[in-house]
A and B are shown apart, each in its own frame.
Chain A
Amino acid sequence: MQLTRDEIMERLKDIMISAGGGNEQIYRECTEDSDLSADLGLSSIGMLYIVIAVEETFRIRFTGVGMSDFRTVKDVIDYIEEHQE
């Protein structure tokens, strides 16, 4: 089933809340333009968490890309949208 962009965003926020180790607020309020590192403060381990959780949640694989290829929330959503079944 294809998820809409908004649905992907909601699920991604849930993942970031678990990954971030911070309080919920900044992830609930983030936008597609939020920078994963500068705005959301995700560390390398936080990024690794997101990759694993996104693969598990959306049943997709990150192949041929590294987390450094994703700068903003939009970049991650684009990748999920493009690769979801």
Chain B
Amino acid sequence: MKIENNERFRRYTSPAVFEKIREYPSVSAMWENCLSEYPDVPAIADDGKTYTFAETESHTAAFRSVLSAKGVSGRVGIIMQNSFDFAKVFLAVVTSGSTAVILPPQLDAKTVFGCTMKFGLSALVYQPGMEEKTSVIASQDPSFTLVSADETGADRLPLTETDAKTPCVIMFTGGTTGKSKGALLSNGAVMQGVVNGCYGYSDVFGQRYLLVLPLSHVFGLVRNLLSSLYTGSTLFICRDAKDMFRDIAVFRPTILVLVPALAEMALSLSRKFGKNMLGGDMKYIICGAAAVSPYLVAEYDKLGIVLFPGYGLTESANLVSGNPEPVRKPESVGLPYPHQELKIADGELWFRGSNMMESYIGEENSGIDEEGWFHTGDLARIDDEGFLYITGRIKELIVLANGENVSPAEVEAHFNEISLVQDSQVFEDINENGTHILALEVVPRASEMAALGAEDPNAVLMSELRRVNQSLPSFQRVNRIEIRDKDFERTPSMKIVRYHRCS
């Protein structure tokens, strides 16, 4: 299936707004447009200060001149926490025609040094206070160029025009299915990712975004920072997730970009304290990076907030599909965005298009096949209206003794429809007789369990789980059900760590 243009999204947005969703070949071209259209609009608020687009450019131009004076070009590493300076440094690097290599701030000094070699960095920009991260570089390669993010100069160097093919950024993949890799995204791919974030809803431009996700994650960098700049919106940087709701009360954001675990937390806190913790101005939550429960869509709807489940990858520079407003199919990840082609090969979802990465860097496998397809590793289907559904991961497929394939995520989705279930995991186990069985563990949703008012809420939940189990095709039915006392173990990006009892 090839999505040639953006026509399918026209009806979700007013004509005037839709015409404003223009495509730019590069971050430089987009940024020039921002500066001519919104010079005096507040672009970024951070640490008690607010910077208009023109002021942001003034700081950016000063940092471009710092880089130029040091002879920095090519690939430039950035190791920083979320801050105005991060945005400034990123813009300065990519609008100089260089490539930003975003290193997650939790990397240790030895790994940071390894990255300078693996990615052939010409320099590394670090945040003041994070000097320790550069200590191995300083001892192993004293001539390597290290630049503090607060360096500045009197000169203001204009930006460099770049085109869609110019490499823009190398970002680390999540690494949930193996080791983390660096994916190279061109300016064209990044800008396609940015524009994709504008489709399917009415209030696109002039919004107030709150940044909670790390800028070292594609969802934070592209869907949060760059989409906010592109749309002439204001980005408020929340430096510590624990202050998120205090920041929301002050800044009154209209759009939030969240992973499902944070959306669930915000909902649960709102219940506990009997108020909408996300504030009265919040209209939209863009939700992705892990499976989104339809329960979240329904519950946020009651608060007057539209939560959009979407699907995206680091390799695709942001979301590749998203639900349009109103969300009619919350179990779907929405309609695929323009200028990409997708196909389902033996159940696996493949993509190619202008938003996809060039290749992995420093890996034996480029990640792109001879015909330009990226194989996602995700199992998917498309319905007759063109909505995409993710039904699991190939690596997680369980092959039963009778030859049937079971996708745990597909089975879990049925149990997750029970409002008493917060999370579930279906896995293969071996019982006391040595027989391979399908097992289910669930984490109850505390607020719903308490609201039952039942003497034995677990018994109520167990009977619901059994009822759902009986409704499944026989090969998908689980043989053992357990209600957990505790949450599942989770990865740093809050995804569930899967059991591997039989492999």
Contact = CB atoms under 8 A, between A and B. Distances in A.
Interface of A: 15, 17-26, 40-46, 48-49, 51-53, 55-56, 62
B269 A22 contact: no
Given A45-B262, A52-B244, 9 more contacts: A18-B268, A23-B458, A40-B486, A43-B489, A46-B487, A48-B242, A52-B265, A53-B269, A62-B242
A21 B261 CA distance: 12
13 contacts: A17-B450, A22-B443, A22-B444, A22-B486, A23-B485, A41-B486, A42-B486, A43-B488, A44-B492, A45-B261, A48-B242, A49-B265, A52-B269
Nearest to B461: A23
Contact of A45 (B271, B444, B490): B490
A14 to B, nearest CB: 8
Interface of A, helix, strand, loop or mixed by DSSP: helix
B17 interface: no
Nearest to B486: A41
B446 A18 contact: yes
Contacts, number: 82
B423 interface: yes
Contacts of A41: 485-487
A55 B423 CA distance: 26
Interface of B, secondary structure class, is helix
Interface string B474-496: 00000000011111111010100
A56 B390 CA distance: 37
Interface string B397-439: 0000000000000000000000000110000000000000000
A7 B273 CA distance: 18
B242 to A, nearest CB: 5
A22 B485 contact: yes
Contacts of A49: 265, 268-269
Interface residues of B, number: 33
A23 B444 CA distance: 7
Given A41-B486, A53-B272, A21 B422 contact: yes
B298 interface: no
A26 B261 CA distance: 22
A45 B265 contact: yes
A2 B247 CA distance: 28
Interface string B244-276: 110000000000000001100100110111000
Contact of A22 (B271, B447, B484, B490): B484
B156 interface: no
B483 A23 contact: yes
Contacts of B472: none
A21 B265 CA distance: 10
A43 B494 CA distance: 8
A51 B484 contact: no
Given A20-B446, A55-B242, A44 B494 contact: yes
Interface centre among B268, B487, B490, B494 (most CB of A within 10 A): B487
A63 to B, nearest CB: 10
Contacts of B486: 20-22, 26, 40-42
Contact of A23 (B242, B261, B449): B449
Contact of A26 (B447, B485, B492): B485
Contacts of A44: 490, 492, 494
B445 interface: yes
Given A49-B269, A53-B272, A56-B273, A25 B242 contact: no
A22 B242 contact: no
Contacts of B446: 17-22, 24
Complex A-B, nearest 8 residue pairs according to Cβ-Cβ distance, in ascending order: A41-B486, A22-B485, A43-B487, A21-B443, A51-B242, A22-B486, A21-B487, A26-B485
B279 interface: no
Nearest to A17: B446
A18 B457 CA distance: 15
A53 B458 CA distance: 25
A21 B242 contact: no
